[in-house]
Structure 1
Amino acid sequence: MFATFRRPALIALSALALSACATAPYAGPTEVTRFSAPDLAEAPRGRIEVVVAPGEETSGLAMQPYLDAVTRELASLGYAPVSGGGTQVAEVRAGRGELLADGSRRSPVSVGVGGSTGTYGSGVGVGIGINLGGGERRTVDTSMAVMIRDMDTREVLWEGRASFAATENADEFEVANAADKLASALFAGFPGNSGETIEVE
């Protein structure tokens, strides 16, 4: 079972609005959906290792801003980020894709509902986008997904996805700024209401 995150009517209207003012910098609200184990809010927050998710196509330096942003947010929540030897692991995925006029996105990143069946899918690496031409500003949707697992049992304790759209002339288009915006929204009010989709301005 997979959750549907994008509301087609809303995203289409947003895309049209962006097209109408393509020369002005724009960064939309961040849409966030999260799932968590029932007792996660009361569980102790120990050592956690932040890594690129297995099978993630984007790796190396391109992923570092996202790993850094997630690490900072987890530390602020009382976790102790470590390099190896953690009791939990946070697996991170990220992707970018052109936001089309009909609200569709070339490289969706989806997040599953809990347990070992929870999966992500991303088709385009960080930094990939399509130039729309005609002097218009490119509009790209940037997404990040994080899954927190128990290191020993591999049980999924929490998972979430965050995304927002921005034009290429907006400050939030820059990868480091985008990563900070996504991580801040994703972990706001952690662990959040399981299954709820919210928008963070």
Structure 2
Amino acid sequence: MAGFQSFATLILAGSLLSGCMTATPPVDVTRFHNARLAPIVPGTVSIRANVTDDDRSIEYASYNAALLRELQRVGFTEARDDSEKSDYVVRYTLERAVLSAGGARSPVSVGVGGSTGSRGSGVGLGIGIDLSGPPKDKIVTDLSVRIAKRLNGNVVWEGRASVEAKEGSPAAQPGLAASKLAEALFKDFPGESGTTIRVK
């Protein structure tokens, strides 16, 4: 019986995990490059954020790590000893804003915390009562990245990824958003230029 309970627990945990994964919203990605005529040769990179808010240093660290991981996956390496001599400079801009249920977008960046509990409820006997309240606002996260040659400053690749997630949901948290956006942005690198795709 104990073995069966353990097995049942594993099945339940797996289903919950897969449910969380499928609940992750899709990412809209657009990329621009001229790789067909001038192939991008991977080399060493240094990553720099176009920082507009010093209070979000932890969030920027998450994006630095996520971008480096994806850059390494497609063949680049980190310039560790002297970043001033890297082959490429990768600069990125991060913007987070609130998209209200009515469609208005707040221009200010926000910090998002976790939330617990549920606001929805249902009653049996064939009678449904919606107690969920008004629709939640969404957190819009935009990540823009440029890869430029250090020697002459020429941009060889640039891309933008955007995701919308309900406020308070796991997908709205900086860490998960960083991984999701970076992974989508560098999927099938360098990607098709000038086309917006949706990555699930």
- 1:93–1:146 contact (8 Å) kept in structure 2: yes
Q: What TM-score do you get using the length of structure 2 for normalisation?
A: 0.69
Name the CA distance, whole Å, in 2 between partners of 1:186 and 1:158.
Answer: 11
Task: Determine whether 1:70 maps to 2:67.
Answer: yes
Name the CA distance, whole Å, in 1 between partners of 2:142 and 2:43.
Answer: 27
For 1:23-102, list aligned pairs within 5 A: 27-39=24-36, 42-53=39-50, 56-59=51-54, 60-83=57-80, 84=83, 85-102=85-102
Q: CA deviation at 1:174?
A: 1.2
Note the aligned Cα RMSD (angstroms): 2.5
- Match of 1:137? 136
- 1:27–1:165 contact (8 Å) kept in structure 2: no
- Match of 1:106? 106
- C-alpha spacing 1:190/1:103, structure 2 compared with 1 (3 Å): farther
Q: CA deviation at 1:67?
A: 1.1
Decide which structure has the larger Cα Rg and report it: 2
Q: CA deviation at 1:49?
A: 0.7
- 2:147–2:155 contact (8 Å) kept in structure 1: yes
Read off the aligned partner of 1:145 and give its amino acid letter: S
- C-alpha spacing 1:41/1:166, structure 2 compared with 1 (3 Å): farther
- 1:26–1:170 contact (8 Å) kept in structure 2: no
Task: Determine whether 1:127 maps to 2:85.
Answer: no
C-alpha distance after superposition, 1:109-149 (max 9, x if no partner): xxxxxxxxxxxxxxx446279xxxx7753311111110101
Name the CA distance, whole Å, in 2 between partners of 1:171 and 1:40.
Answer: 41
Name the CA distance, whole Å, in 1 between partners of 2:110 and 2:145.
Answer: 15
Q: Which runs of 4+ in 1 moved over 2 A?
A: 25-28, 37-43, 58-62, 100-107, 124-129, 134-138
- 2:112–2:173 contact (8 Å) kept in structure 1: no
- 1:62–1:126 contact (8 Å) kept in structure 2: no
Q: CA deviation at 1:33?
A: 0.5
Name the CA distance, whole Å, in 2 between partners of 1:158 and 1:125.
Answer: 26
Name the CA distance, whole Å, in 2 between partners of 1:70 and 1:28.
Answer: 19
Q: What TM-score do you get using the length of structure 1 for normalisation?
A: 0.69
Name the CA distance, whole Å, in 2 between partners of 1:177 and 1:158.
Answer: 24
Percent of pairs with identical residues: 34
- Match of 2:7? none
Q: CA deviation at 1:62?
A: 2.9
**2:25 aligns to what SS in structure 1?**
coil
**2:183 aligns to what SS in structure 1?**
helix
- C-alpha spacing 1:197/1:104, structure 2 compared with 1 (3 Å): farther
Which has the higher mean CA deviation after the structures are superposed, 143-152 or 82-91?
Answer: 82-91
**1:153 aligns to what SS in structure 2?**
coil
Q: Which structure 1 residue ranges, 5 or more long, are not aligned?
A: 1-24, 108-123
